[in-house]
């Protein structure tokens, strides 16, 4: 199929290298990208981002036409005590990926996070707002963004937020599990963001690749690079998100939880400080790529199903 598409659209066959293929976004990417060409998703043992220099040999052997970096160190609290490992995976490794992508002329898509901001802005953050991360995880992701952009080449940084899905460790799966184990759950109600389903992130990424690489009968390649915000429309708190999850749980009869209690961040101290309001504005992404994600409310029932 890839060769046929290449002949029909006058472009070389597409080979996409996906890091973190078993994670939330990575798993969905391997499904969403199948129609575009060959998808190569090495295991962590085969392509370990904690060993950046060893990555070069693997990337050169695969010879991708596009690289999507869906792997990351995401243990936000543990990062406070594992700064070096966090920066190796989230900052140094993306720079190596960018260098190798530029060397072979491949497209690079790298994911970042709303946690590069401090959450003090009342309006949704736009791409030109000055980052000010509050924790090591956010600092490392910001450093990764800068490593990618400094290398140059054809690259996109897609900032997303509050990612959840059927695979990997995430808030939705945790709430569903705890609701079956406990009679009461306490959830923070003073942190605001936009829950974003991993499948929609993957689908939007496939759309970006199609447009950028000129895949499709009427596609005109888009050459714009830079940073874009890719999140759901709307916003909510962790507490309200948890309430919606439990209310729409298809297996609600299995829940033991009878009380969902909103609490403040002060009542649930963590090693890492979180931004109070890290909502991102997706207008730039929509304008460039002609696509915007639906509201978080409309995504949730689809993800639960």
- Helix 238-248 and helix 296-304, axial crossing angle in degrees, nearest 10: 40
Tell me the two tokens of residue 29.
Answer: 């990417």
Contact (CB, 8 A) for 226 and 264 = no
115, 137, 164, 228: which one is catalytic? 137
∠ CA(279), CA(234), CA(245), 5° rounding?
A: 105
Distance in angstroms (rounded) separating the CA atoms of residues 40 and 21: 9
Regarding beta strands 184-188 and 259-263, do their DSSP bridges make them parallel or antiparallel, or are they unpaired? parallel
Residues 6+ apart with CB under 8 A from 150: 95
Sheet strands (E) in 21-75: 38-40, 66-69
User: Crossing angle for the helix pair 296-304 and 171-181, nearest 10 degrees?
Assistant: 60
Note the residue count of the chain.
305
Please tell me the distance from the alpha carbon of residue 77 to that of residue 151, in angstroms, as a whole number.
Answer: 29
User: What distance in Å separates the CA atoms of residue 92 and residue 94, rounded to the nearest whole number?
Assistant: 6
Annotated active-site residue 137? The verdict is yes
Q: Which residues are catalytic?
A: 137
């Amino acid at each position: 199929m890839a060769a046929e598409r290449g002949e029909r659209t006058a472009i070389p066959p597409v080979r996409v290298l996906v890091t973190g293929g078993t994670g939330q976004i990575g798993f969905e990417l391997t499904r969403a990208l199948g129609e575009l060409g060959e998808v190569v998703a090495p295991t962590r043992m085969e392509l370990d981002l904690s060993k950046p220099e060893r990555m070069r040999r693997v990337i050169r052997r695969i010879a991708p036409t596009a690289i999507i970096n869906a792997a990351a160190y995401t243990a936000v609290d543990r990062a406070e005590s594992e700064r070096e490992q966090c920066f190796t995976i989230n900052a140094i490794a993306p720079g190596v990926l960018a260098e190798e992508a530029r060397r072979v002329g491949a497209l690079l898509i790298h994911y970042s996070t709303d946690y590069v901001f401090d959450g003090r802005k009342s309006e949704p953050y736009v791409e030109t707002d000055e980052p000010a991360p509050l924790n090591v995880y956010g600092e490392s992701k910001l450093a990764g963004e800068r490593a990618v952009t400094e290398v140059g080449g054809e690259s996109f940084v897609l900032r997303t937020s509050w990612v959840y899905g059927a695979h990997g460790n995430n808030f939705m799966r945790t709430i569903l599990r705890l609701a079956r184990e406990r009679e009461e759950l306490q959830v923070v109600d003073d942190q605001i963001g936009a829950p974003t389903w991993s499948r929609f992130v993957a689908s939007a990424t496939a759309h970006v690749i199609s447009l950028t690489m000129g895949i499709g009968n009427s596609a005109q390649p888009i050459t714009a690079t830079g940073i874009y915000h890719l999140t759901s429309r709307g916003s909510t708190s962790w507490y309200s998100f948890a309430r919606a999850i439990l209310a729409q749980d298809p297996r609600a009869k299995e829940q033991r939880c009878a009380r969902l209690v909103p609490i403040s961040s002060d009542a649930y101290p963590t090693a890492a400080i979180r931004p109070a309001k890290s909502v991102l504005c997706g207008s730039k992404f929509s304008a460039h790529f002609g696509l915007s994600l639906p509201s978080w409310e409309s995504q949730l029932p689809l993800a639960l199903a």
